[in-house]
Amino acid sequence: TTKQPQQLAMAAAALTSDGGVTKQTVRPAKEGAAAAKGDTVTVAWSGKGADGNALPDYGEQTVTFVVGSGDVVPAWDLAVQSMCEGELAEVHASAPYLHGSSSAWPSASADVTFLLDLQKVDKPFVPIWERPLPERIAMSEKSKAEGGELFAAGDFEAACDKYQLITHYLLQSSDDETAKSLLVTGYINMAACRLKEGRFKETVDCCTNALELDSGNVKALFRRGKALLELGKPVEAVRDLANAASKSPGDKNIVSELSKARGLAEKEAEKEKDLYRKMMSGYKKT
């Protein structure tokens, strides 16, 4: 049973416009989660009537319920929604707020003062894609920063995992400009990781995903061009690198890679010509 406090820590606050429910914090929460509708909470409680006598023993001094479900009297629902896990509060409730719960417990016919100890707050599981967009954007920004630190440390696999989280958080929100920008960043940064690891096919895939959202992204064009060159596809590489060079003509890395790709593409073209000449020569002899 929760002990009655010797002194209250904070002034009482009205939770209803008519003053029918007031709450006075006895022990503030340290870092606990704030309770809200839909949360499952565990509350230890004691209470006394207007005459100062303790309420009858209901047999359950610690109760678990879903906030806002009507499982407890309105006074409790209102009070708990103004509390955080770990908080102890004295709640005064007038009779109108002591009825109406589905279980009619605890209820009283006159004013009651409760001492509520919010011991636990369990948040319901919400799939990532159903969370508010600002929350998902904040999560993406955090993953981007963490990925950057891992990439700088040379841990490309772990960095790629962080960047991939961005695509999980925001894939269904690409119509929002901020989300779209973060998605593109996630893909091109994943490509940078895969390029470092020599996983060129995956590099191409990541860049293609980025280019579907931003067709003129220079980094995506450059990295896909480099990967295509490594995969032995210089003609395709030239297309991407020439496109990147046209958008960023002063980038020496792009110019260098484009020159290399063109050289290999020309050699490949010469080989094809030689093969064609040999084929035609053999055809004439027959």
CB atoms near residue 265 (< 10 Å):
18
At 268 the pLDDT is 81
Task: Give the SS3 label for residue 216.
Answer: coil
At 10 the pLDDT is 64
Q: For the chain, give percent helix, strand, coil, nearest 5.
A: 50, 15, 35
Task: Give the SS3 label for residue 117.
Answer: strand
At 146 the pLDDT is 98
pTM (predicted TM-score): 0.65
In this prediction, the residues of the chain whose per-residue pLDDT falls under 50 are: 1-7, 102-105
At 128 the pLDDT is 87
From 94, 47, 104, select the one nearest 70 (Cα to Cα).
Answer: 104
Asked if 202 and 187 count as a contact pair (C-beta separation under 8 A), the reply is: no
At 264 the pLDDT is 94
At 104 the pLDDT is 45
Element (DSSP H or E) covering residue 163: helix 156-170
